[in-house]
Structure 1
């Protein structure tokens, strides 16, 4: 039985993916759980998607949907986009995809459509890009877009009084449904960190690869982790989302 390895937000950093899988000595027996946001930021978003599809053919992979992945899919399917996406990494992604033929784009659309909203493993551990809002858990979520847009789960974890026990009526009910929750979406660089951060039973694995942090792969069982070089150093001629 291999490891359960969780990968944070990639944001077009193909070089960083290759680096962390090498540093973690990933084998075909390992399960790879990608938390989403494969695109937008650095200039190799199509290469990232191609590589993920190849990985899927070689080993057990779970691909979760991120908000940037959904924005790309909507643009590829309809041609419509928001100025917010355009200015937050979408422009470089659009430039990259405009160089591809239609057949390649269609293959990538199929991949993006296949992404999961979340993954719940046999140990009652939840893997989701952003969070959820329903107090009764993900299976009761009314607004599926919250799986890849919510920030309240992480914000609640950050400000939670550590003196409040699980049985206290003030303890967030959302936290009680799962043994652990693994997320990305909100980079820990916002709180001055560049390594995975645990708050309550939530692990945030977005270590700021879109900006000036590294990409991270975390063993969900042992909590050992491996990181790429700071991604901006791998792409010295690009700005990423900085």
Structure 2
């Protein structure tokens, strides 16, 4: 029985199938998805259909990403947000036009996404970050859960100046000190010239750039063993994803 966390997928359904097979995932495994299921590659609607079904077969935790918020808003009122459309929404709209789906089921999927999840070992899973010095339960701006980048920037800075040994003490950056470990997506590791899950202090970034030129990653949070898909452009050779 493992707990596995999966980075941002961005419509790359083929990549998800690959990593589930490469990690030998079984119904006994708990899967924690870090958000951004849609926008980028061409199979967003198909991916959500698969996740809805997967949730009936094993324990899944679905974190809310900013792209999921935009797609949910479109499903609710049919209004196309220009920013969303330009950042992968176009491909998501086309995927929804292509398949037959139960709109109510999809709405419920997006509505039931979690802003964050804390497990029984005080490990936090959140798409982007938070800004409250008192932890996620005291966050004043919920949008930070799926838009913030300052948390990972703080962790990387702390790592660079060598204060990792202070984690767990009163001298550590307060946001990092609330949780045993923090897992995020949202900020691709390829931005830092890293194509595998990346650790900075007690924070792990598992978004390895599947929306762009990178791979989709799945990681065992206890052993830190991970598996990856092929680079997404090789799985969708006629598409650009978000490489625009």
Distance 2:50 2:24 in 1: 17
Distance 1:56 1:19 in 2: 18
2:11 equivalent in structure 1: 12
1:52 equivalent in structure 2: 51
- Secondary structure in 2 matching 1:189: helix
TM-score, normalised with respect to structure 2: 0.95
Q: Does the alignment pair 1:75 with 2:53?
A: no
Q: Give 1:104 shift.
A: 2.1
1:149 equivalent in structure 2: 147
CA contact (8 A) 1:11 1:40 kept: yes
Q: Which runs of 5+ in 1 are unaligned?
A: none
CA contact (8 A) 1:9 1:184 kept: yes
Q: Give 1:158 shift.
A: 1.4
Distance 1:84 1:150 in 2: 17
Q: Give 1:208 shift.
A: 0.2
2:173 equivalent in structure 1: 172
Residues 34-53 of structure 1 show CA distances to partners (whole Å, capped at 9, x for unaligned) of 00000001000011101111
Equivalent runs, 1:13-52 vs 2, <5 Å: 13-52=12-51
Distance 2:13 2:99 in 1: 17
Distance 2:6 2:94 in 1: 26
Distance 1:128 1:236 in 2: 31
Bigger shift: residues 197-206 or 84-93:
84-93
Runs of 4+ in 1 over 6 A off after TM superposition: none
Length, aligned pairs only: 239
1:63 equivalent in structure 2: 62
Bigger shift: residues 74-83 or 145-154:
74-83
1:124 equivalent in structure 2: 122
Residues 152-175 of structure 1 show CA distances to partners (whole Å, capped at 9, x for unaligned) of 101111112214623364x31000
CA contact (8 A) 1:97 1:105 kept: no
TM-score, normalised with respect to structure 1: 0.95
2:108 equivalent in structure 1: 110
- Secondary structure in 2 matching 1:84: helix
Q: 1:52 to 1:230 in 2, by over 3 A?
A: same
Bigger shift: residues 225-234 or 141-150:
141-150
Q: Which runs of 5+ in 2 are unaligned?
A: none
Q: Does the alignment pair 1:228 with 2:226?
A: no
Residues 172-194 of structure 1 show CA distances to partners (whole Å, capped at 9, x for unaligned) of 10000000000000000101111
1:215 equivalent in structure 2: 216
Distance 2:80 2:181 in 1: 35
CA RMSD after TM alignment: 1.2
Residues 17-60 of structure 1 show CA distances to partners (whole Å, capped at 9, x for unaligned) of 10000000001110000000000010000111011111101101
Distance 1:95 1:58 in 2: 28
Distance 1:238 1:109 in 2: 27
CA contact (8 A) 2:46 2:99 kept: no
